[in-house]
Every structure is written in structure tokens, then in C-alpha cells.
Amino acid sequence: MAEQIDWSKMLGAGYFRDRTVLITGASSGIGRDIAMSLSRMGAQVAMLARRKALLDELKGQVESAGARALALGADVTRASEVRVAVDRTLETFGAIDILVNSAGVLIPDNVESMDPADLERMMGVNLYGTVHAMQAVLPSMRARSRGNIVNIASLAGRRGLPPLGGYCATKFAVVGLTEALRVELYGSGITASLIMPGTWRSLLQGSSPSLHHVKASCC
């Protein structure tokens, strides 16, 4: 097993001091780890997910470590809920310096047999959820001529493989969307970045090493 990197030690405990980070899908998995890591480096973290009870628990842990946190119960597939969450973050912290789009859902199946409703669900979270969050934060970032948007894509967004055809399609879309946005934002002071993880183990994938037994989970 690869050794987990403690970025707070590498970059320094105050590396993100006075910066506000909004993280979608923060109730578990990569999003949760990002929230904990950045809070240790001094960031104020606004954490968005559907599972408010898990967010409240995480908020307590972050605040116990001395950082400020905001738990935002919202469904990224609903643009109106995302806009309300962004407004609350701006009211609480004054600005959003970094957006991390980490909400995701994976429902494995072969292309030939997959249920179109499953593909629609994955598109709703993985693609449209990303769009909703970016569109909600960009006006305030443009007003300040600064900000960072970080989208969690996947190596599945570079090469398709079974039984992840539908999931790959959503991540290919996120990659293309982010690369286009990066060009749109040139000279604005705002950056758009991609993170392309490989395989990881979380509630997104369940506990089985076989992708055919993955249980879908929306963070």
C-alpha cells in the first residue's frame, strides 16, 4: 500500500491561511480527505454534500483542529441548491478562493446492457454537478479577478474501459469542459485545473475489488 502523503507537513500548516475553499462531495472519499488536509493547512472549508449528518460530523472534526468550517447540505444536481450554498459561503467567509468539484457517482455496467437511467444519474452528478458549482462561483471570482477551480476527473476520462463505459463518458465530458474553461478564463486571473486519480477505494466504489459489484454512492 502506498504511503499517504501528509501535505500539511510538506507545504506548511499555514499554506492556505485565510483562503476559503468550497468542496463538493465532501462527506466522504476524496472530498472528505481534501477538506481535512486543507483545513490543517489553515484553510476555511465550506463542505457541500447531500449527507448533512456526515458533514456535521466532519465540521466538528475540522473545528476541533482549530479551523473554520461550514456544512452545506445540498444536491449538486440541483442548480438552485448549489447557488444557495455558494451564497451562504460568501456570506459566511466573504469570498471563495478555491472550488474543488469532488462529488461523484459510479454505476458500472457494460455499454450494451447499461440502463440509460444510470447514465443519466452519473451525468447529473459528475458532469452537471460540476457545471452547477462552477457557474455559481465564477461571478464572485470574476469580480475579484482571482480564484482557482479544481475538478476531480479520472484516468477513466482519458481512456474508456469496461465495465465503466457510462462513467468514462461522464469523466471524458468533465475533462473537455475543464480544458475549454481553462482557455475561456485566460487572462482573467482565474485558473481551471484537472486532477486525474487512478483507482481508489471509497464508498464510491464500495468494498469489493470487482467493479461488477460496485455499489453506487453519491457523495
**CA end-to-end distance (rounded Å), the chain:** 25
Taken in order of first residue, the domains within the chain and their CATH numbers are 14-213 (3.40.50.720)
One digit per residue, pLDDT tens: the chain, 219 residues?
445 555 555 556 667 888 999 999 999 999 999 999 999 999 999 999 999 999 999 999 999 988 999 999 999 999 999 999 999 999 999 999 999 999 999 999 999 999 999 999 999 999 999 999 999 999 999 999 999 999 999 888 888 989 999 999 999 999 999 999 999 999 999 999 999 887 554 434 443 344 443 444 434
- Name the nearest CA neighbour of 107 among 51, 49, 165: 165
The half-sphere exposure of 142 on its side-chain side, counting CA atoms within 13 A, is 9
Q: 24 pairs with which residues across the strands?
A: 48
Q: Which residue has the cell 480564484?
A: 147
Q: Are 205 and 214 in contact (CB under 8 A)?
A: yes
Tens-digit pLDDT profile for residues 38-53:
999 999 999 999 999 9
Tens-digit pLDDT profile for residues 157-169:
888 989 999 999 9
d(CA 212, CA 123): 19
186 part of the active site: no
- Name the nearest CA neighbour of 40 among 64, 67, 61: 67
Question: What pTM was computed for the model?
Answer: 0.86
Q: Cis peptide before 197, with omega less than 30 degrees from 0?
A: no
